[in-house]
Amino acid sequence: MAREEVRTVCPYCGVGCGIILEVENDRIAKVRGDTAHPANGGRLCTKGSSCDKPLLSDQRLHQALIRPQRGEKAVPVAMQQAIKDTAARLRTILNTHGPDAIAFYVSGQMSLEAQYLINKLAKGFVRSQHIESNSRLCMAAAGTGYKLSLGADAPPGSYEDFDCTDLFFVIGANMADCHPILFLRLMDRKRAGARAC
Ligand code: SF4
């Protein structure tokens, strides 16, 4: 069978590096950085370059499971049935206990469109006030640093700023460990004469 190439995005940190998966017989045969992607230009850190490992694990679920009752053994069901049952159970919780009985914990790795949809679902449809994401936890130290030093916390305007700034000011973040590819871009710029503090 021919190898198919799938362009995707690294599932780990917020740098959002572009990845190309080489897929053969429905299995990932190779992972490589996407040289055309503006975030990483083909580079990947260890996490990105091994992102196929969890996908290939035998411990992953291969089909939907559902517990008929709490405490019972989970049994396989068709995906459509699992979605229907989950929706019915959520509806029962909503009707019985009100919207704040339902909380959403989502991912900062979702696309903007997906973020919009889940917020619309939580706040506009379910009307729960409880929605949280890993973004707040993983950015807590850096966000506090930005607020204390600069008075505001915001994401960078554009990664292209990396290529033209003369000064990097990093606070509350260990870029080498947490955002390795951006750190490499910082080091590239430093070698070209920029300062970092
Ligand atoms: S820096 Fe590493 S973990 Fe983060 S998105 Fe890029 S490859 Fe993935």
* pLDDT per position as a tens digit, 184-193: 999 999 999 9
- 66-78: average pLDDT: 94
Using a 6 Å cutoff on CB, does residue 10 contact ligand 1?
yes
Query: What does the pLDDT read at residue 149?
Result: 85
pLDDT digits (tens, 9 = 90+) for 127-156: 999 998 877 777 788 788 888 888 988 766
For residue 95, give the amino acid letter.
N
Could you give the CA distance from residue 80 to residue 84 in angstroms, rounded to a whole number?
Answer: 6
- The Cα 55–Cα 147 span in angstroms is 38
Q: What's the pLDDT score for residue 100?
A: 95
Distance of CA 5 to the CA centre of its chain: 21
Please state the atom number of ligand 1 nearest to the C-alpha of residue 33.
7
Average pLDDT, the chain: 91
82 C-alpha to ligand 1 centroid (Å): 33
How many residues are given for the chain?
197
Q: How far is CA 56 from the centre of its chain?
A: 19
Instruction: Read off the pLDDT band of 169 (50, 70, 90).
Output: confident
User: Is the CB of residue 108 less than 8 Å from the CB of residue 138?
Assistant: yes
103 token code pair: 């909380």
Which ligand 1 atom is nearest residue 40's CA? 6
Residues 6+ apart with CB under 8 A from 110: 118
Instruction: Walk me through the domains of the chain, giving residue ranges and CATH numbers.
Output: 4-56 (2.20.25.90), 61-97 (no CATH), 101-149 (no CATH), 157-196 (no CATH)
pLDDT, residue 29, reads: 94
Question: Which pLDDT value is given to residue 155?
Answer: 67
